[in-house]
Amino acid sequence: MRRTKRSQRGIALLLVLIAAVLLITLALEIAQTSATQGRLGRNAMNDFLLRTASEGRLHILRASLRYDATSGDSKDTEADDWAWFNREQLSSWGERSGSGLPQDGEDNVTFRNTDVRIVAYCEDERSKLNLLGLSRPEDSADFTMTRQTLIRLIDEFRDHVSALDLSESDGQEMVDDLVEWLQDQGEEDDNPIPPVAAGRGKLQSVDDLLRVPGGKWKASVLFDVLDPDRDPEETTDDAEGGDGEFERVNGVPGLLRYLTVHAESGANPPLRINVNTAPRAVLRALFDDHDRELADAIVEHRREGAGEEESAAPAEGDEVGFFANKSQLSRVEGMAESLDVYPRLNYFADVRSDVYSLRVVATMVTGTIEGEWDAEDEDADEPRDIVASYQVREIVQRVEDGFVTLFRERRSDPILER
């Protein structure tokens, strides 16, 4: 009898232990599932907030372009409200701060988003060299002028950085490789493969240049990089060759800053370069080597009257030196009266733009927004962690009744770690 009771107690204890193990396992599984669902929920919420903020900011960028079109001005310049120098206002305009109630003398309700940070800016696609010219017939002026300018641009764009500088012969090799690759897309007797075939020479984005064979079109050439000869502690704002307030300076510029494949919609859109927005390297590529200093003179002329202070915004009006038409280029000191002596400049030069790149980078960070930190917080100076990031780039053409979207790409990193 005693053995039977002992056996029963042993079995009962074993069952209790098994039940306890099962309950603990179940509890752990529920906790893990709950934590996973919580992370997924937070990621989904972060992604939703970032997408919403980004789409809203794109509307603001389009609004700035629409407003610019109503000014009655016949030219587009790097001093316009949509341009790079105005990026801080474009990134914050429309946001609200404070208590959420109108203050005395204020017309708008104020509120501040403490979760998402926005960097937004526009780029003029006509400030760049359009590679679509290389897809035109080889006996056309578009092809000839684009090829010559691209070779010069490759030679010029890092001319001030000896360790990363490319020569004119490098440019010729790169352009020859690109032209050969682009010609592979034609449906000819010796090439029946249609253009959509994988690996053929089709440029839908400038990033497609990484697929060009030959080994010359590589990421270190196309994208911005650090200068190997510069002290990493030195700020890039004072980098030699930079254009100050009006142009991005982020290490050594990559070739992608100066190239585009997007032009006005149409069967045979014009491929022009806006001399009021084109960066120095692109302008230099429009001249032969012995005249390249004229590009510097153009930049200085159009920025005349922009203000002596580093942070000053450009002055308004024609007095800043921007060009109302390409014939006014002859006013630049050192320029010939006739632009015919500068074939590439004469062919490409324009003063108006209709195609723009809209860029928005939205990030969500831990902690509070800068300027709202608690001064008594010992950890106030510690960097905050990025918990989510979302980037969108949209190429639009400004038309009479709105915009036509030519290209759009998105990147979402909902659990991006610092």
Between CA 225 and CA 255 the distance in angstroms is 11
C-beta of residue 235 within 8 angstroms of C-beta of residue 368: no
Give the residue-averaged pLDDT of 75-90. Answer: 87
Kind of pairing between the strands at 273-274 and 349-350: parallel
Q: Is the pLDDT of residue 312 over 50?
A: no
Give the residue-averaged pLDDT of 334-360. Answer: 94
Angle at 378 between CA 372 and CA 384, to 5 degrees: 55
Instruction: Give me 51's structure tokens.
Output: 């997408």
Q: First CA to last CA across the chain, in angstroms?
A: 68
pLDDT tens-place string over residues 208-259: 999 999 899 999 999 988 887 776 555 444 444 445 567 666 678 899 999 9
Q: Is the pLDDT of residue 383 over 70?
A: no
Radius of gyration of the chain (CA): 29
Of 38-42, 81-85, 276-280, 339-343, least confident by mean pLDDT is 38-42
Between CA 36 and CA 311 the distance in angstroms is 47
Q: Is the pLDDT of residue 195 over 60?
A: no
Class of residue 99 by CB neighbours under 10 A (exposed 0-12, middle 13-18, buried 19+): exposed
**What pTM, to 2 d.p., does this model score?**
0.76
C-beta of residue 351 within 8 angstroms of C-beta of residue 74: yes
Between CA 155 and CA 170 the distance in angstroms is 8
Would you place residue 186 in the very low, low, confident or very high pLDDT band (cuts 50, 70, 90)? low
More confident residue, 49 or 136: 136
Would you place residue 315 in the very low, low, confident or very high pLDDT band (cuts 50, 70, 90)? very low
- Most confident by average pLDDT, 111-125, 181-195, 276-290, 357-371: 276-290
Annotated domain spans of the chain: 46-122+358-413, 124-355
